[in-house]
A = this chain, B = another copy of it.
Amino acid sequence: MDTATARKPATEPPPSVAAAPVAVALDDVSISFAMKGQPLFKAVAPTSLHVREGEFVAIVGPTGCGKSTLLNATAGLLRPAGGTVAIFGEPLSGLNEKAGYLFQQDALMPWKTAADNVAIALEIGGTRRAEALAQAQDWLKKVGLGRFGDRYPHQLSGGQRKRVGLAQVLVRHPKILLMDEPFGPLDAQTRQIMGTLLLRLWAQDRKAVMFVTHDLEEAIALSDRVVIMSAGPEARIIGDFPIDLERPRDTAEIRLDPRFHTLHRQIWDQLKTEVAKTYGEDMPS
């Protein structure tokens, strides 16, 4: 995690992405789950997705389509049934060490306080404990939890836990960020503050970001590209919309931009048909 390289001021315009190297290359990746006594469940049909260094890609899709699964494959936690995953050109075997992953579920260590949970992410890399704790405290402040450093996870609210998780991932400055509904349990205001925080960081060292969300506005406001997945099983990527809104963006203001609304409508229309398909069979009566 080369936090030292390419630190640029937060206000710098977004890096030119087209020329940047491909950070994550999913080629014809398909994912299946074997379950006892049931036929193989083909969650994701062969799908390709490339994310370049410095690119912020949002992934939206109906619930249960395979977004988390796709992130898991990128993280190296799940071996695809077919296709290849390459990270900065290297085929992925084992864990993806360049990536930081904010899980959809609670993943904090329950036996560590919030501050320790964040600090450990640095200590692993060799940072001295005092220094790591100081940075952790700093990060907790950034996510609005400065006074909650000595709480254990079960003493925090759902949204607070998620933010500790956010700090835990960001503090390491990974080159690739995998985020699975990071702002799900947060209120709209906090969401925007966190979004701005994330964008600032992202711009700093040209991270590649894969950002799963159910909030289309958020997806558009933050990303360079919005990728749409079809309903599962055998979900595929069925839409890929470049977001040509100017950077740097103010995540609150941008929603007033007319271009924002055009994009929103476009994507929404496609998404709607997709979600309808999810309920093709199970449509609530």
Contact = CB atoms under 8 A, between A and B. Distances in A.
Nearest to A284: B142
Contact of A155 (B35, B105, B279, B282): B35
A33 B155 CA distance: 9
A210 B240 CA distance: 39
A68 B150 CA distance: 21
A60 B62 CA distance: 25
Copies of this protein in the assembly total: 2
A38 interface: yes
Contact of A62 (B187, B271, B282): B187
Contact of A282 (B145, B186, B216): B145
Interface in A141-187: 141-147, 150-151, 155-160, 163, 181, 184-187
B156 A62 contact: no
* 9 tightest Cβ-Cβ pairs between the two chains A and B: A63-B159, A189-B275, A146-B282, A64-B157, A144-B282, A187-B214, A104-B158, A142-B284, A64-B160
28 contacts: A35-B151, A35-B155, A38-B150, A61-B187, A63-B158, A63-B159, A63-B185, A63-B187, A63-B190, A64-B159, A68-B157, A104-B185, A105-B158, A141-B282, A144-B278, A144-B279, A144-B284, A146-B281, A147-B281, A147-B282, A181-B185, A184-B184, A185-B214, A186-B214, A188-B215, A189-B276, A190-B278, A193-B284
